[in-house]
Chains A and B, each alone.
Chain A
């Protein structure tokens, strides 16, 4: 039996650090986004 997508989990493993980093930077971005937009909206 042939699984054409078998490489996907391997690729996920290889790029684990990249995914973690992307997640962390998105979290930082989301936090600053909420704070800055909230401040801007409130003070206007």
Chain B
């Protein structure tokens, strides 16, 4: 049973999309990495054109990061001041990224640029993760305790305009988070990812934030970056397909919950090498797809021309006639889904505590 996506103009199998986004969600919950850099390539493999895969995955990331951030807000593990500083840089970076995107779209090379960016980023992350996990294996074998310096200073720490960040207990130049945000926003706009794989290490090793504040603040920044990316993609190219977004959000929110629960029960550090190999394999497949299978893809796209049903027509006309409001609607839709998922999770957790934790006490 295939469904026609009215905006992306391709047929997809909804069960496959739900399953894939759930699997990527599980990996994301298990390893604490965003699913964007796996899900966008998977969408491309399923026939969704890269420019549409990027925009719709950004909208999906918005929903999942709203869901995760709400949980951290309820736990009070968020540094808003630092988050806003990164968002300032992120906004400028996103605008620059969209400008670059427009340039490459204009010369008809955007699909190649997205594929190239993905294969290089996946190969770099996969290589770094594998080398790191090999180092950990060696250290564990030799029982070596590594002595690290208490404070390592880079050039970035010597920047002017210092400011206090009471929640993180830091006295840092405002340019440090702004520059990091700039890089994250630029990559997010071109690749449709949240950018957590840059943001999290940068927050820990460069800004030196307390680790407990990092995931919440990273998700908080991702919300703003993905809002800007979704909105700009929507009004500039009308590439947000709500039918695809619903499938992605439902699958990934369920998957992330399963992944987090699995992560609490098993030690995922040993599985890190497997994730790294998966990234490398995805990188190789993208390379093959880009360099050798391009002509087959173009023929498949030409065949598609179908009559649309009422819902598909409505989405297409709404996107075409009112791109500004369609963009706002896509954002609100993702935000509401994310908040809804966070509250359902809290309700379920309270329900579990109330009814399932009582049983042993009653039996006493």
Contact = CB atoms under 8 A, between A and B. Distances in A.
Contact of A28 (B119, B127, B287): B127
A31 B280 contact: yes
A27 B280 CA distance: 8
Interface string B89-125: 0000000000000000000000010001001100100
B287 A38 contact: yes
Interface residues of B, number: 21
Contacts of A27: 130, 277, 280
Most B C-beta atoms less than 10 A away, residue of A31, A32, A39, A41: A31
A43 B286 CA distance: 16
Contacts of A12: none
Binding site of B, secondary structure by majority: helix, strand, loop or mixed?
A: helix
Contact of A32 (B123, B137, B288, B290): B123
Binding site of A, secondary structure by majority: helix, strand, loop or mixed?
A: helix
Interface string B274-305: 00010010011001101110000000000000
B276 to A, nearest CB: 9
Given A27-B280, A42-B291, A35 B134 contact: no
B126 interface: yes
Given A27-B280, A28-B127, A39-B116, A34 B134 contact: no
Contact of B284 (A24, A34, A39, A42): A34
Interface in B243-261: none
B117 to A, nearest CB: 12
A13 to B, nearest CB: 15
Interface of B: 112, 116, 119-120, 123, 126-127, 130, 134, 137, 141, 273, 277, 280, 283-284, 287-288, 290-292
Given A30-B284, A32-B123, A42-B291, 17 more contacts: A17-B141, A24-B130, A24-B273, A24-B277, A27-B130, A27-B277, A28-B130, A31-B126, A31-B127, A31-B283, A32-B127, A34-B287, A35-B120, A35-B123, A35-B284, A35-B287, A39-B116
11 contacts: A24-B130, A24-B134, A28-B127, A30-B284, A31-B284, A32-B123, A34-B287, A38-B290, A38-B291, A38-B292, A39-B116
